[in-house]
Structure 1
Amino acid sequence: MKKIYLFIVALLPLLLCVSVLRAQDPNFSQFYFKELYYNPAFTGVNPGLRGTISDRHLWVNVPGEYGTQSIAFDYYDDKFAQGGFGAHMTRNTQGQNFLNTFNGGLTYAKQIRILPDFMIQIGAGAQYVYKTIDYGGLTFTDQYDPRFGAIYETEFVAPEDGVGSKGAFDYSAGMIVRFNIRETPVKYIAANTFGIAFHHLSEPDFSWLDDGNEAPLPMKMVIHGYSMVRINRSGFHNRFFLLTPGFLYENQAESQYLFKGEEAGAKTLSFGLNAVIPSKISFVSSLYIGAWMRKQYWKREQLADYIEDIKKKSFDSMIFTLGYIKYSKNKNNKELYRFLYNYDMTISAAGLSTGGSHEVTLSFEIHDLALPGRNARKSAVPHPNDKFFK
């Protein structure tokens, strides 16, 4: 086991150098609460103001820091520029802080109301991506002796301060569909949201070497779905609970082939289920409990391989979710606060010795919050919590 662990530690710098050449986006386990990160069309999808702060740490037992932090806000007022506006920032760190990525941007989305319980929202985003690399923390192949290891000086010429940096503008676009299902004209039993988004439309170049070869940030396609289904049971507080199944499919560096996979790249499939259980505790409206699975490919794979792996229960991570929701309302608006914790248990070849991954999210929503001097927006498709937590 110790030899395997040392092998993983030794292999990580090589894997990270590969990611420098063909960078991939970091993943979040709580993707259903990182909506602006995955699809700009979510901007302003709920009435009023909302914000989310997340902190994720990957493989905590492996030396170095492998983490991602994000913060996002969005707001919708139907009399304010006829759309929803959002802002987000993300920081990703790999290794001993030798590779850092910062990005920040703005998003906009327009809602198309079709029926009282059906709407489409189209959004776009622009962001600036800034990457830095500390060459002082890297060892190159020409420094190694087959017998004695890294004993030579490299011929690579690094900047005087030992740090390289690159920045570029990047763009994304997406669409979501939200529809509610009613059991009766006044009783909602399900709220559903599905969408698709394309990121890195311009595929900016992030090559670190001046050798004429480009290293574009590859385009990424995201397909996602998430539902809230009310289950009536007399044994629960308020006589019901919610089941929230969902899925996320990411395809980077081969979006043009969708599921076919003629080119090598990164494909990630996550799916699972949360249970939202109403609570009798005064400061907790509901408890959040969930279990999810994730499978990631870094090579050519066909859709049939996904299906076969699922049948064989071959996955990379099993994800456990625990948290709570506080929901309240007053004369002017409704407020919702969430705290969620995820533990990703590594079940791939890397093993439990990596320590798994930890992710924490804090979020708030103030529904129907209007700008001073304006009336609160009345949503064509009511926010699910407005109906389920009355």
Structure 2
Amino acid sequence: MKRFFAIAISLFSCFGYAHAQDINFSQFYEMPLLRNPALAGTYVGDVRATSAFRSQWGSVSVPYKTVALGTEVKFALTQNSNDYLSVGLQMTNDVAGDSRLGKTQAMPLLAYHKSLSGSKDSYLTLGFMGGAVQQRFDPTELKFDDQFVNGAYSPTNPTRQTFNNTNVTYWDAAVGLSYSTVLGMGTKFYTGVAYFHFTQPKVAFDQQSDIRLNKKLVANVGLAAPTSEVDQMIFYADFFYQGGSYQGQGGAMYKHDLLQYGDDETVSLSAGAFYRWNDAVIPVIKLNYYKLAIGLTYDVNVSKLKVASQLRGGFELTLSYKSFLNIRNSSAEKVRCPVGF
């Protein structure tokens, strides 16, 4: 059995025969550019930086570790216009399993926010993101069938398995469209759709194999509804299709303002829970401290792996910062602005 798994892991990890799925954070709402390039700029302020660290499956195998960093700058096109432009950059680094199968990407972003109303914050946004992705693995950490002698494995046993390439770089891109508006009683709402990997880049380490990254279609929705002057219910949900599989995740948080001096000068505490379909129940707590925010989640695994994992999935930490800039076309000087939760 050990021999079978050793060979299977080496084949699926190194040559890309498995249906590849994208990085997915439990606090997906904190990584808007990974959800949809058109969700750039959906915040109160001119600049936003978001980061996340995730460690998963430590109870089952070598932990899968993922780090992400996103930055955005939003500014009005002209002093008399309600239209905005957002530029940004999304970076991620992911390392998985014994082979340290890793992926690093740097994706510049451009988004245009078109005002649809002069009387309320209603916007149609088109966003594009594209850049370089690098994949690699470490073959010295793999175990192969011919390294088992008389049922015993030794890393000093020679193997006939060779790899001509352990590193590959390709170009990837995504495009998205979103609509955001303010409803009655101060309720904020947005919805969007995105198309990732529409060029289907070649991702196999074996250059003779025509293995392509699966296209991904995504639908997003967000809603923030005040329940009092200091309380708010916030809902997020994503649904996507990739590689013949459907997936959905969503949930809600209750937010209470402890101190409030303005939209960008608030101390608040949020708590809630999310659910990723057939995978995990995810309790969440978040603290907003003026321009900074920190969030913490833990995945309670409810998938078919729950017996082996003992319900333990992994924890995730996010940190974000947003603020206004002292510039002439700052959104602080504007009456109309894209919806920000």
Task: Name the TM-score class by shorter chain.
Answer: 0.7 to 0.9
Give 2:252's match in structure 1, choosing from 262, 273, 276.
273
TM-score, L = length of structure 2:
0.85
Stretch of structure 1 that moved more, 82-91 or 376-385: 376-385
> Residue type matched to 2:286 in 1?
G
Report SS of the residue matched to 1:18: helix
Stretch of structure 1 that moved more, 241-250 or 20-29: 20-29
Listed one character per residue, the Cα deviations across residues 158-209 of structure 1 (whole Å, up to 9, x for unaligned) are 24xxx710001111100111011123xxxx1x10111111111111111122
1:317 aligns with 2:280: yes
Match of 2:139 in 1: 135
Structure 1 residues 12 and 244: alpha-carbon distance in aligned structure 2, compared to 1, 3 A threshold: farther
Match of 1:194 in 2: 191
Report SS of the residue matched to 1:322: strand
Listed one character per residue, the Cα deviations across residues 233-256 of structure 1 (whole Å, up to 9, x for unaligned) are xxxxxx441111221112112xxx
Distance 1:287 1:13 in 2: 48
Which 5+ residue runs of structure 2 have no aligned equivalent? none
Give 1:223's match in structure 2, choosing from 212, 219, 228.
219
Match of 2:112 in 1: 110
1:18 aligns with 2:1: no
Structure 1 residues 350 and 121: alpha-carbon distance in aligned structure 2, compared to 1, 3 A threshold: same
- Report sequence identity in percent: 22
Distance 1:12 1:350 in 2: 19
Is contact 2:99-2:142 (8 Å) kept?
no
Is contact 2:99-2:139 (8 Å) kept?
no
1:75 aligns with 2:78: no
Match of 1:158 in 2: 163
Structure 1 residues 242 and 38: alpha-carbon distance in aligned structure 2, compared to 1, 3 A threshold: same
Match of 1:376 in 2: 330
| Pairing of 1:275-314 with structure 2 (within 5 A) | 275-279=254-258, 285-295=267-277
Report SS of the residue matched to 1:41: helix
Distance 2:259 2:40 in 1: 33
Distance 1:96 1:89 in 2: 23
TM-score, L = length of structure 1:
0.75
1:63 aligns with 2:61: yes
Instruction: Give how far 1:153 is off.
Output: 4.5
Q: Tell me how many residue pairs correspond in the alignment.
A: 321
Structure 1 residues 355 and 178: alpha-carbon distance in aligned structure 2, compared to 1, 3 A threshold: same
